[in-house]
Chain A
């Protein structure tokens, strides 16, 4: 399945080019949350997207929430990149498949605070919730009439959304799909992750021995996936290909990955089998790499056992963990690296765990292979892996 357009916004940059520049050159540091307060005694830094990178919201009259704006920003970039106009899409079966977590949560704190003390809050917060399903926002915004689906698989949502969208194209359900993920920083998620004791009070250090947890982030990425028939008819270049997708559940614990990594192993194996290639063909693996002790230990173990020769990295040291958007942002980064023929160092990594079978990239590396994997592990034991192939040279 061809990827003909890419859009991406994260704390690392307003578009994919800027994000890649940050990954390779400048880096990016988290800071205290600026849009909400918390009474935690210590600040847990986050990666915020500047408001200036989002579509204009001067009067707020459209009722769109931040997650929707992030999705719209990424979608506009992706469609422009693919050479599509909204009008051009109207005659086709165009679906939307987006992952999110915060974007589907009915958890407006001001509303609930008023409600629980009997102050009869007005319904504006609920109305906003009802019109801000991220996939529906894109479908409405571009007048799309195909399947519209918001995947809420926690931290693997973005990866799953792209994999599922590719299935829609392979089976002929759609001609074109806007696929990806979007999520905003929220106070509720911030408190929730701190309550789970998996956040760091310092910049996250994925795969590093001293890692203490994740930094939350926000952002969105949208890929335009397109059937070969439509793409050839338009004469449109493929920037990349979705070659394989695998997903499996640990069925082990609600919030912790299986220590054996069995689910991840199965998802990786399924994805590579689905692509018809082998692990030896992978140029690199964009790992989930949240910087939580458990996640990174499991990923290191599985990658060490399955793909010991394949370089891997985490990009969350430059974006934070953008939850339902993370998998999509990382898929976009993976494609960007395939186009560049080089992969950055794993930001935040210095020293590996004792006894680790493999360690992430400590320096950028060039490569000549033409495919890579992007993987996500999630709350609930979900594991999802995409195999992405380099596109046609433009």
Chain B
């Protein structure tokens, strides 16, 4: 059963919301900032693509955000923007499900919780940081603030988190457990992650080069990308429909990338996954990759899907990313509208998640 993307919302280094994302996609990237790597590193930092959640004040009073951490704030902003974008004011919140995909969870709250016991003893461990460190805290904040009393689910499967979340969303809609699902990916970047990048990869990069498959060019990113999904009622779907979600492993054969689709690769400069993308991109299928806009993060596929939805809505105007090493291609709007878009995310152990979107105008 196909499901319809009713609205999208996002926050990342590019800004927030549909227009900021579209502009950054057209521009070809987002501003890079520096994240401190931590004690003992002489103030050196690592480049990263960071998200600012200040616009959340357009939706929620500061008082309601007092005890909510950055991770959950990104989720809240993405979710509120998606709901706003969908303009479904009559949505029954008791029939609204929430699914959050995250690679690493709320790591900064986790480390703040550890700080609280390491600084002052176990007896002073902070209950607030502990609460925020639990993986499903963002989904809980979302459900509470949106009064969404349908099922709430958080999934953590590194790069496969988004595809599995979408699979569940489609099941819920198919079984009519819910009328709509707010599904999104969230991950954050902080000093410990920056330290890990430094230790694993050495010299920092300032620009993700997604088509340099054999090189490590990842720049850590953070953000949230949400979509509001409903069953498709045969009406026009400007942001497209999610047709199928396939999760499998290369040991069972390569993903289906027939020639009649456009391909959005989740390639984000992580060399460990590069060879899988290289094989996918070597087919005659036109391929794009947009990671320079939001950076490298496990839930990057959520942003890929939002970009694909915008491609369907606007026609393809993000040519700089097409097979970048060979120079921009020149696809036409008509050609794009006639073809589905497949968003492919590969994990480092050969697993992959394939999400196919189709247009319906």
A248 touches B136 (CB 8 A): no
Complex contacts, B122 vs chain A, CB 8 Å: 38-40, 191, 194
Of B216-224, B248-256, B257-265, B285-293, the one touching chain A: B248-256
Tell me if A188 counts as interface (CB < 8 A to partner B): yes
Taking CB atoms and an 8 Å cut-off, the chain A residues in 165-188 that contact chain B are: 167-168, 170-171, 173, 188
Distance (whole angstroms) from the CB of B123 to the closest CB of chain A: 6
A122 to B200 CA separation, bound complex (whole angstroms): 10
A39, A105, A112, A164: the one contacting B123 at CB < 8 Å is: A39
Complex contacts, B247 vs chain A, CB 8 Å: 95, 146-148
Taking CB atoms and an 8 Å cut-off, the chain A residues in 133-163 that contact chain B are: 133, 135-136, 139-140, 143-154, 160
Taking CB atoms and an 8 Å cut-off, the chain A residues in 183-225 that contact chain B are: 188, 191-192, 194-197
**In this complex, what residue of B is CB-closest to A143?**
B251
Complex contacts, A133 vs chain B, CB 8 Å: 156-158
B110, B140, B200: the one contacting A107 at CB < 8 Å is: B110
Distance (whole angstroms) from the CB of A158 to the closest CB of chain B: 13
A380 touches B40 (CB 8 A): no
B135 touches A119 (CB 8 A): no
Given contacts A247-B151, A252-B144, A255-B131, contact A39 B121 (CB under 8 A): yes
Given contacts A146-B247, A148-B247, A249-B150, contact A112 B156 (CB under 8 A): no
Taking CB atoms and an 8 Å cut-off, the chain B residues in 147-205 that contact chain A are: 147-158, 160, 164, 167-168, 171, 174-175, 177, 192, 195-196, 199-200
Complex contacts, B349 vs chain A, CB 8 Å: 136, 140
With a 10 A CB-CB cut-off, give which of A109, A167, A196, A380 has the most chain B CB atoms: A380
**In this complex, what residue of B is CB-closest to A151?**
B155
Distance (whole angstroms) from the CB of A371 to the closest CB of chain B: 20
Complex contacts, A152 vs chain B, CB 8 Å: 102, 105, 135-136, 154-156
A21 to B140 CA separation, bound complex (whole angstroms): 37
Considering only CB atoms and an 8 Å cut-off, how many residues of chain A contact the other chain?
A: 72
Of B7-15, B112-120, B307-315, B337-345, the one touching chain A: B112-120
Tell me if A25 counts as interface (CB < 8 A to partner B): no
**In this complex, what residue of B is CB-closest to A192?**
B130
| Residues 94-118 of chain A, each 1 if its beta carbon lies under 8 Å from chain B, else 0 | 0100000100111101001101111
Distance (whole angstroms) from the CB of A144 to the closest CB of chain B: 8
Tell me if A381 counts as interface (CB < 8 A to partner B): yes
Tell me if A233 counts as interface (CB < 8 A to partner B): no
Tell me if A270 counts as interface (CB < 8 A to partner B): yes
Given contacts A40-B123, A123-B196, A251-B146, contact A379 B134 (CB under 8 A): yes
With a 10 A CB-CB cut-off, give which of A120, A143, A149, A151 has the most chain B CB atoms: A149
Tell me if A266 counts as interface (CB < 8 A to partner B): yes
A112 touches B114 (CB 8 A): yes
Q: Tell me how many residue pairs across A and B have CB atoms closer than 8 Å.
A: 204
Complex contacts, B28 vs chain A, CB 8 Å: none
Interface residues on B, range: 35 or more
Given contacts A112-B114, A116-B39, contact A136 B149 (CB under 8 A): no
Tell me if B137 counts as interface (CB < 8 A to partner A): yes
Given contacts A146-B247, A164-B168, A379-B136, contact A253 B144 (CB under 8 A): yes
A191 touches B117 (CB 8 A): yes
Distance (whole angstroms) from the CB of B292 to the closest CB of chain A: 24
Interface residue SS majority, chain A? mixed
**In this complex, what residue of B is CB-closest to A163?**
B151
A254 touches B144 (CB 8 A): yes
Taking CB atoms and an 8 Å cut-off, the chain B residues in 35-90 that contact chain A are: 38-41
B152 touches A249 (CB 8 A): yes
Given contacts A140-B349, A381-B144, contact A254 B137 (CB under 8 A): yes
A149 to B111 CA separation, bound complex (whole angstroms): 25
Tell me if B351 counts as interface (CB < 8 A to partner A): yes
A251 touches B148 (CB 8 A): yes
Tell me if B141 counts as interface (CB < 8 A to partner A): yes
Distance (whole angstroms) from the CB of A193 to the closest CB of chain B: 8
Complex contacts, B249 vs chain A, CB 8 Å: 139, 144-145
Given contacts A39-B123, A150-B156, A192-B125, contact A171 B135 (CB under 8 A): no
With a 10 A CB-CB cut-off, give which of B114, B137, B174, B248 has the most chain A CB atoms: B114
B157 touches A195 (CB 8 A): no
Given contacts A101-B134, A153-B153, A381-B144, contact A115 B195 (CB under 8 A): yes
B136 touches A380 (CB 8 A): yes
A347 to B249 CA separation, bound complex (whole angstroms): 44
Complex contacts, B153 vs chain A, CB 8 Å: 151, 153, 160, 164, 247
A109 to B251 CA separation, bound complex (whole angstroms): 36
A195 touches B127 (CB 8 A): yes
A223 to B178 CA separation, bound complex (whole angstroms): 26
A106 touches B125 (CB 8 A): no
**In this complex, what residue of A is CB-closest to B152?**
A249
A78 to B123 CA separation, bound complex (whole angstroms): 40
Complex contacts, B160 vs chain A, CB 8 Å: 148-149
Tell me if A126 counts as interface (CB < 8 A to partner B): yes
A382 to B157 CA separation, bound complex (whole angstroms): 20
Distance (whole angstroms) from the CB of B56 to the closest CB of chain A: 18
Distance (whole angstroms) from the CB of A95 to the closest CB of chain B: 8
A188 touches B144 (CB 8 A): no
Tell me if A306 counts as interface (CB < 8 A to partner B): no
Tell me if B126 counts as interface (CB < 8 A to partner A): yes
Given contacts A112-B111, A152-B154, A254-B144, contact A106 B105 (CB under 8 A): yes
Given contacts A118-B38, A154-B134, A249-B143, contact A381 B152 (CB under 8 A): yes
Tell me if B98 counts as interface (CB < 8 A to partner A): yes
Distance (whole angstroms) from the CB of A267 to the closest CB of chain B: 8
**In this complex, what residue of B is CB-closest to A164?**
B168
Tell me if A130 counts as interface (CB < 8 A to partner B): yes
A195 to B126 CA separation, bound complex (whole angstroms): 6
Could you name 15 residue pairs across A and B whose Cβ atoms are closer than 8 Å?
A106-B110, A112-B192, A118-B39, A136-B158, A139-B249, A151-B153, A152-B102, A153-B154, A154-B134, A164-B168, A188-B110, A195-B130, A249-B148, A249-B151, A254-B131
Residues of A within 8 A of B (CB): 38-41, 95, 101, 104-107, 109, 112-113, 115-120, 122-123, 126, 130, 133, 135-136, 139-140, 143-154, 160, 164, 167-168, 170-171, 173, 188, 191-192, 194-197, 247-255, 262-263, 266, 270, 378-382
**A151-B154, A164-B168 provided; 6 other pairs, C-beta below 8 A?**
A113-B118, A139-B351, A145-B249, A251-B146, A252-B144, A254-B141
